Amino acid sequence: MTLVICVVIVALLFEYVNGFHDTANAIATSVATKVLTPGQAILLSACGNLVGALVGDAVAKTIGQGLVDTNYITSLTIMCALIGAIIWNLFTWWIGLPSSSSHALIGGLAGATLATASGNWQAIKWITQKTKVITELVPAPHDVLVTAKELALAGGTTNTMEVAGHTVQVVMPVTSDQVMLLATRTLVEHGGIWHKVVKPMFLAPFCGLLVGFVVMGILLVLLRRVRPRLVNSTFGKMQLFSAAWMSYEHGRNDAQKTMGIIALTLFAATTQSHAFANLPDWLGFLRTPKFEIAFWIKVVCAITIAAGTAAGGWKIIKTMGKNVVRMQPIHGFAAQTTAAAVIGFATHLGIPLSTTHVISGSIMGVGSTKRLNAVKWSVAERMLWAWVLTLPITGGIAFVTMWLFKKLGMA
């Protein structure tokens, strides 16, 4: 019981560190373009993170169930995963280097689970595939409508036929000119670390760079005859919207990772141990016999990440906002809007995306429209190394920590 509570507290500590570590993702460009003061930007970001964290749970379910075998998960496993992630986050924050809190947590979870499973690599879900059969009503094409009417006149009740490669059933009788087909199709969902983590790790910054370059290029063409002062004034105001959207999407994606960890902790404590055997009635809400993200978990994580965001992360803000490329409000708007759109799409798919990777790629893509050497690629190279090393380093720290606990007879 005590260990479970400690794990939840450490998870919230990670969420707090995540808040001030990743604050720069949402507000660095707003501060760099002087649209907002640091204080105003952090307040806006905190509010956006708070609202976003309360929406949805697809990413939380991916973290909690889709990456490792839950049969090997214990409270101590999760504690070691969080320790690895927090150490790496604090180190990269201390040297002012943007890195992915998402991948730090995922790497820690994988490493700690591997140690718990005594080196059994099957405990990590590298590639998974889930098949779903979906039945839905779709409007019938004209030829099917005619056939259905003919069958209805002949006294038929149902008829099965092939339409657009799908076996469908026409619902009878036909009483109007609209016939709905009962269509069945098979949907294959790919998951696991390869599909949900590794592939997005490379695709996310590339998408940010490419889309940011295209968006900025279109804006430059459309506004080439408009006075620079009017452009700066207009996009200075529009950047308030893009910063708020980016903060919302950051909360919607990043806060959910800790929600998944806390839900996984409570699920493991309820189903795999006797930690909650003598749980008093007033703490009954902690029991989680089925993996689900309770509303109270969402609220607590939302408040925690918002509080962490309010603390700020000035070193990373400087790196992201000034050291990569110098920007005007139009550049900041393009970068933030691009990143928010990409992150929002990934969140919809349940992908625990790195907001750091996306906004960094977007900033580079937008900056490249000036000229390629406008981007300080040496800084970008340092960031790239941090991204590549995050998974193995956090996984290694968590693995060693869990191994030491086992050696000491604590696991």
- The top-scoring range by mean pLDDT among 66-70, 145-149, 184-188, 189-193 is 66-70
pTM of the model: 0.74
Q: Give pLDDT tens digits for 268-292.
A: 888 876 777 777 788 788 888 888 8
Q: Are 328 and 33 contacting, i.e. CB atoms less than 8 angstroms apart? A: yes
Q: What is the pLDDT of residue 170?
A: 58
- pLDDT average, residue stretch 84-107: 84
Minimal CA–CA distance to 115: which of 67, 70, 80? 80
> Which of 116-125, 136-145, 207-216 comes out lowest in average pLDDT?
136-145
Q: Supply the DSSP string of 166-213, one letter for each residue.
A: EEEEEES---SS--EEEEEEEEEEEEHHIIIIIHHHHHHHHHHHHHHH
Q: Which amino acid is it at 359?
A: I
Give the integer Cα–Cα distance in Å for 222 and 231.
11
Q: Are 179 and 169 contacting, i.e. CB atoms less than 8 angstroms apart? A: no
Give the integer Cα–Cα distance in Å for 398 and 365.
34
Token pair of 45, please?
């970001």
Q: Are 317 and 24 contacting, i.e. CB atoms less than 8 angstroms apart? A: yes
- pLDDT average, residue stretch 348-363: 81
Residue 158 C-alpha from the chain's centroid: 45
Q: Are 325 and 363 contacting, i.e. CB atoms less than 8 angstroms apart? A: yes
Q: Are 82 and 54 contacting, i.e. CB atoms less than 8 angstroms apart? A: no
At 298, the pLDDT band (50, 70, 90 cuts) reads confident
Minimal CA–CA distance to 133: which of 184, 170, 168, 183? 184
Q: What is the pLDDT of residue 403?
A: 94
Q: Are 101 and 22 contacting, i.e. CB atoms less than 8 angstroms apart? A: yes
Q: What is the pLDDT of residue 174?
A: 47
Is the model's pLDDT at 355 over the cut of 50?
yes
Is the model's pLDDT at 146 over the cut of 70?
no
Residue 216: Cβ-neighbour burial (10 angstroms; 0-12, 13-18, 19+): buried
Minimal CA–CA distance to 98: which of 309, 381, 399? 381
